[in-house]
């Protein structure tokens, strides 16, 4: 079963699935005329940002969704500090990918190629800078291409991280491969099956481990990655996959679940590596909160559970930043797109700076007057 998920009162750019924090479907509020192309906010760190794309093939396992595929193919987008500030900006997505995403999510308020015109900040195939840098793996929500987390990825790269964003093939509306093939969402036909979420996060954990295996030999800049400093974050089912990956792969030393139902089961003996839940107000009022409460009790190391008031499930993605270009009007009471992006970037970066760069972050110790939307849970975040 597929549902449409409204974001910021009608930002129904992205479809919710059985793996997403629950929220009632709502009709999009469509403005008469879309604005011009969207421009993603500039990275806040000191480094210019480069990006490149890798295509990897895991011949050790068949694809879990395409029974005719004897190997698992993955598209991996890397963002990293670059030596140059000028050059060709990387595309956000292709016109066909934009069309398939908008058709899949039922958005007809703008031309179908609209998202392909989104302006990014990263320089395509720029020469990497830096000596040894921590690595952050990013995983998007179900049905979503990795491009929908571009703003966060660019910001982390500007702050001095290498970011590896994984497009999990056949789990989003469109993944394009170099030979022109477009893998559409075969998994969408199964997302109401029993055990779907648990199986999907296990598959994503295998994807991440394979990517970590391959990076040293597949990217010319891989010598800059400090393989002792790796973390993973993701939104929705991508966030759920962070814990699933950490349970299977000890190379990932810290993780963030951004508004995703927890499917992987932590052993009763507990889990001691640093972990953070970063959620929306919807998450607390919805059915996913009990899974976080369950896991919170089993996290025996450094941990935080932070909820941002005024946010919805897609507030942590690029979705609100694209609303004007799509002619979709937000609802009152939801944080403006720029503020939601600032909060997401700030708290994700603070966690990573503390656990991958050993830079103590007081922001993670207590509420901040600068960011009053951030509520420290579970004590202050009981459902209303």
What DSSP string describes 176-197?
Answer: E-TTS-EE--GGGGTTTSTTHH
Contact 170, 199 (CB under 8 A): no
**pLDDT score at 342:** 98
pLDDT in tens, the chain (384 residues): 333 233 333 343 333 333 443 333 333 444 546 778 999 999 999 999 999 999 999 999 999 999 999 999 999 999 999 999 999 999 999 999 999 999 999 998 899 999 999 999 999 999 999 889 999 999 999 999 999 999 999 999 999 999 999 999 999 999 999 999 999 999 999 888 889 999 999 999 999 999 999 999 999 999 999 999 999 999 999 999 999 999 999 999 999 999 999 999 999 999 999 999 999 987 666 556 789 999 999 999 999 999 999 999 999 999 999 999 999 888 778 999 999 999 999 999 999 999 999 999 999 999 999 999 999 998 666 554
CB atoms within 10 A of CB 130: 17
Burial of 279 (0-12, 13-18, 19+ CB in 10 A): buried
**DSSP string across 229-290:** EEEEEEETHHHHHHHHHHHH-TT--EEEEESB---SPPPTT-B-S-EEEEEEHHHHHSTTHH
Which is nearest to 204 in space by CA: 283, 139, 287? 139
Strands 182-183 and 275-280: unpaired
> Which helix (H) or strand (E) segment is 303 a member of?
strand 303-308
pTM over 0.95: no
Map residue 33 onto helix, strand or coil: coil
Q: How far is CA 350 from CA 13, 20, 129, 145, in A?
A: 28, 25, 22, 25
**pLDDT score at 92:** 98
Q: Check whether the bond before 378 is cis (ω within 30° of 0).
A: yes
Sign of CA dihedral 28, 33, 37, 40: negative
With tokens 């930002």, the residue in question is 11
d(CA 279, CA 305): 8
Cα–chain-centroid distance for residue 71? 24
Residues in the chain: 384
d(CA 10, CA 27): 6
Fold of 3-15+44-376: Rossmann fold (3.40.50)
Burial track 150-168 (b if 16+ CB lie within 10 A, e otherwise): bbbbbbbbbbbbbbbbbbb
CB atoms within 10 A of CB 337: 23
Burial of 195 (0-12, 13-18, 19+ CB in 10 A): exposed
d(CA 343, CA 49): 20
Map residue 100 onto helix, strand or coil: helix
Q: How far is CA 309 from CA 173, 326, 362, 363, in A?
A: 30, 25, 20, 16
89, 90, 96, 97 alpha-carbon torsion, rounded to 10°: -130
Strands 15-16 and 3-4: antiparallel
d(CA 6, CA 100): 18
């Amino acid at each position: 079963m597929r549902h449409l998920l409204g974001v910021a009162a009608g930002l129904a750019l992205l479809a919710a699935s059985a793996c997403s924090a629950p929220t009632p479907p709502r009709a999009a509020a469509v403005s008469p005329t879309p604005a011009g192309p969207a421009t993603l906010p500039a990275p806040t760190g000191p480094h210019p940002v480069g990006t490149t794309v890798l295509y990897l093939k895991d011949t050790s396992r068949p694809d879990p969704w395409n029974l005719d595929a004897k190997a698992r193919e993955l598209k991996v987008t890397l963002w990293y500090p670059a030596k140059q500030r000028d050059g060709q900006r990387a595309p956000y997505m292709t016109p066909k990918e934009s069309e398939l995403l908008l058709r899949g999510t039922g958005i007809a308020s703008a031309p179908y190629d609209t998202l392909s015109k989104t302006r990014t900040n990263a320089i395509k195939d720029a020469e990497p800078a830096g000596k040894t840098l921590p690595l952050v793996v990013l995983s998007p929500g179900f049905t979503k291409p990795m491009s929908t987390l571009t703003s966060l990825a660019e910001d982390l790269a500007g702050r001095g991280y290498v970011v590896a964003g994984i497009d999990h093939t056949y789990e989003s509306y469109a993944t394009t491969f170099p030979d022109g093939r477009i893998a559409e969402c075969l998994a969408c036909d199964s997302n109401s099956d029993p055990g779907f979420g648990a199986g999907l996060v296990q598959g994503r954990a295998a994807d991440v481990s394979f990517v970590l295996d391959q990076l040293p030999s597949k990217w010319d800049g891989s010598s800059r990655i400090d393989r002792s400093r790796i973390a993973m974050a993701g939104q929705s089912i991508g966030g759920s996959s962070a814990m699933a990956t950490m349970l299977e792969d000890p190379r990932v030393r810290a993780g963030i679940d951004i508004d995703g139902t927890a499917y992987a089961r932590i052993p009763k003996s507990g889990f001691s590596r640093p972990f953070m839940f970063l959620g929306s107000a919807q998450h607390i009022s919805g059915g996913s909160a009990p899974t976080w409460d369950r896991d919170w009790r089993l996290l025996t190391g450094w941990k935080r559970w932070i909820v941002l008031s005024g946010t919805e499930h897609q507030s942590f993605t690029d979705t609100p930043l694209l609303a004007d270009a799509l002619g979709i009007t937000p609802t009152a009471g939801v944080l403006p797109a720029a503020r939601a992006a600032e909060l997401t970037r700030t708290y994700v970066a603070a966690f990573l700076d503390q656990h991958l760069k050993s830079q103590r972050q007081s922001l993670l110790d207590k509420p901040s007057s600068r960011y009053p939307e951030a509520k420290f849970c579970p004590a202050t975040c009981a459902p209303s």
